[in-house]
Amino acid sequence: MPDGHVLLTKKWCRWAKIRKMRCVPGRAAIFRRYHAPPQGVGRMTSNETSRTAAGAAPDESADPACPDTLNAEEILTAVGEAVYEWTIADDRVRWSANAAEVLPVKNAAALHEGRRFAALIDPDSPLTRFDAVAGSGKRDHGDGQPYCARYCLKGTATATGEAIWIEDTGVWFGDGEGLPARARGIVRKVTERHAAEVELSFLSQHDALTGQLNRAHLMKRLAEAIATAREKFASCAFLIAGIDNLAVVNDTYGYEVADRVIATVATRLQRQLRSGDSLGRLSGNKFGIVLNACSEAEMEVAAERLLDAIASEVVTTELGPVSVTISIGGVSSPRHATSATKALGMAHEALDHVHRRQSNGFAIYQPSESRAAARRRNVEMADAIVKGLNERRFRLAYQPIVEAATGKPVYHECLLRLDTAGPVEQSGALIAAAERLGLVRLIDHRVLELAVETLARYPAARLSINISAECIGDRSWMQKLVATLARRPQFGRRLAVELTETAVVRNVGEAARFIAALRDLSVKTAIDDFGTGYSSFHILKELSADLVKIDGSFITTLLTDERHEVFVTALVEIAKTFHLETVAEWVRDEETAARLRALGVDFFQGELYGLAASEAPWPEDERLKVPIGNASAAQR
């Protein structure tokens, strides 16, 4: 047996169960079970050798589950493991006979000396065996101290020329003073596992498409930069760079080309940054950039450099070259933004300013009292809307829509009101705030619930409700309407839904499908505020609605502005061609009403025929005298 190797006897095999251990809490107890010095370690005695050669029967007391010496070494080699004992005083390391196979180093003799083995390890390794044992700072009082290290054998030291990652696990035992005296352990190759863990760690912090930091890790870098700048009484900058018109690239060339554009922009931005700066992907078309030790003047110079880097060269794709530009908004910290969250919001605000002004530009955040007041108002409105929904304080007001010929009401438009401690909030302000704050879909659902309750309580009621653009694609709203009309199908014939012209123009095809679904439920549809959305009359044919409501701005000046009369005349004629009925809004006087009748308008709505009122204008169903707002009672 070669000198310096450890013979794997049956008792060594028992001790080698430590190969099953991992660097986890509770491992110390497992190692202590095997801390006693193994017997029979070293060369085989002459008696043992002769007994083995003579084919003597095995020791009856031996563990029957333990393989013989040869099989144990084969198993260890097969799973890429070897065991060792290191005596620290003489720096000698004794190994199982398979060590050279598990650790194929060029100089096998280096395995048997601690210092020479340490020289084979990459200096960038997180923790070596020497660090884990001699550098632990612990003392052993007889039970042993477990350790676990992971390190990399340099490619220049291995026979294959490739780096090998090792997990080294064991227990060290102390001398009389408790300091490390010897260590027993097991090593295993974990190169593939380490590579997988490194990849997972990278993906947990980086964007898969661009290889740059993901949003969470970028925000962490930003917070660290702001903290450092505050401590050093310096400044840093945060930029948001948005790719202009990426949606157009998606629609024109497809998502693969758009992904190519995103990745190329990321690469070009990274090339322009200093070594200490950070780049990350915030969202689909937006990147965040952290510039350390950067003043506002330096931020502006950096932004111009980034703009030029993207715009100066087209992006080459399989479908041809694509011209790309970016817009940038930036903020200086901690002067304006004292936290990462605030910096993100302020940089977004600056970027929005660029988009309102132009594309391919740059703006620095500047504080504004009017914007601050608007934000405070938004917070107040969001709180009021959410509380109003939760506390069921929204209600409807009803404005009549009358026949032009008789003045008799045929529908009542439902306008939303919110009861508050102060003045009642009107529908216009509520809806505008809800759309800004992303709460408008909740409003759409509540309006539908209130309208259904009104239809149930007042059998004579015929209602028209307003919905937002977001509602057109809201499947849950449509499902709620379908479920309601499945129970009370007659409600469909007493209900109309109004969509603004600007809402349907966003996606005419989706709006047409939405209107068709309503028609199948016997629900009429009206295009509201027509004339303000800059669409053509052709859209009326595409949508196949039932009514078109002429925006009130054309009606109030009908008698004084010839152009408005021409528009109303043309619209009425087109509507008749498409079998649409027309409604004139904001009718305030009889003279205007008379002229609208002459032009052929079918229905009127406005001050002349009544403003919106909270009191219901219909007789109540005696069986359903419940407060509106109690949906379950209204449905019974």
Q: Which domains does the chain have, with CATH numbers?
A: 5-197 (3.30.450.20), 206-367 (3.30.70.270), 397-616 (3.20.20.450)
- Name the helix (H) or strand (E) containing 479: helix 475-487
Inform me whether the pLDDT recorded for 26 exceeds 60: no
Q: Confidence class of residue 52 from pLDDT cuts 50, 70 and 90?
A: very low
Q: For the chain, what is the total number of helices (H) and then of strands (E)?
A: 24, 21
Q: Nearest 5°: phi and psi at 451?
A: -65, -40
Q: Which residues, 6 or more positions from 105, have their beta carbon under 8 angstroms from its beta carbon? A: 111, 120, 153, 157, 158, 159
Q: Confidence class of residue 50 from pLDDT cuts 50, 70 and 90?
A: very low
What average pLDDT does range 304-308 have in this prediction?
Answer: 96
Supply the pTM of this predicted model. 0.56
d(CA 476, CA 157): 65
Taking Cα atoms as reference points, which of 520, 563, 527 lies closest to residue 548? 527
Q: Confidence class of residue 430 from pLDDT cuts 50, 70 and 90?
A: confident
Inform me whether the pLDDT recorded for 22 exceeds 50: no
The per-residue pLDDT of the chain, averaged, comes to: 85
Inform me whether the pLDDT recorded for 182 exceeds 90: yes
Q: Confidence class of residue 175 from pLDDT cuts 50, 70 and 90?
A: very high
Inform me whether the pLDDT recorded for 102 exceeds 80: yes
Inform me whether the pLDDT recorded for 116 exceeds 60: yes
Q: Nearest 5°: phi and psi at 281?
A: -95, 120
Alpha helices in 39-190 (DSSP H): 46-53, 69-78, 99-102, 114-118, 129-133
pLDDT score, position 279: 97
Q: Which stretches does DSSP call E strand in 199-259?
A: 236-243
Q: Which H, E and C letters describe 184-215, residue by residue?
A: EEEEEECHHHHHHHHHHHHHHHECCCCCCECH
Sheet holding 180-189, edge to edge: 5-6, 92-96, 81-87, 180-189, 164-174, 145-153
Q: Which H, E and C letters describe 129-143, residue by residue?
A: HHHHHCCCCCCCCCC
Angle between helices 475-487 and 440-457 in degrees, nearest 10: 10
Q: Confidence class of residue 154 from pLDDT cuts 50, 70 and 90?
A: very high
pLDDT score, position 424: 56
pLDDT-wise least confident of 148-162, 384-398, 428-442, 619-633: 619-633
Residue identified by tokens 């790719």 is 243
Inform me whether the pLDDT recorded for 49 exceeds 50: no
Reported as a single tens digit per residue, the pLDDT across 447-460 is 999 999 999 999 99
Q: Confidence class of residue 313 from pLDDT cuts 50, 70 and 90?
A: very high
Reported as a single tens digit per residue, the pLDDT across 398-417 is 999 999 999 999 999 999 99
Reported as a single tens digit per residue, the pLDDT across 323-337 is 999 999 999 999 999
Residue 604 amino acid letter:
F
pLDDT score, position 620: 82
Check whether the bond before 489 is cis (ω within 30° of 0). Answer: no
Sheet holding 286-291, edge to edge: 278-281, 286-291, 236-243, 326-333, 362-364
Angle between helices 427-437 and 440-457 in degrees, nearest 10: 140
* 8 A C-beta contact, residue 414 and residue 528: no
Residues constituting the chain: 636
Reported as a single tens digit per residue, the pLDDT across 619-630 is 887 555 544 444
Inform me whether the pLDDT recorded for 37 exceeds 80: no
Q: Confidence class of residue 78 from pLDDT cuts 50, 70 and 90?
A: confident
Reported as a single tens digit per residue, the pLDDT across 357-411 is 877 899 999 988 887 888 788 888 888 899 999 999 999 999 999 999 999 999 9
Inform me whether the pLDDT recorded for 4 exceeds 50: no
What average pLDDT does range 208-213 have in this prediction?
Answer: 92
Give the up-direction half-sphere exposure of residue 150: CA atoms within 13 A in the CB hemisphere: 11
Q: Between residues 48 and 557, which one has the greater pLDDT?
A: 557
Q: Which stretches does DSSP call E strand in 573-624?
A: 581-584, 603-604
Reported as a single tens digit per residue, the pLDDT across 290-303 is 999 999 999 999 99
Inform me whether the pLDDT recorded for 434 exceeds 50: yes
**CA dist 511 to 248, 481, 491, 578, Å?**
21, 16, 22, 17
pLDDT score, position 623: 56
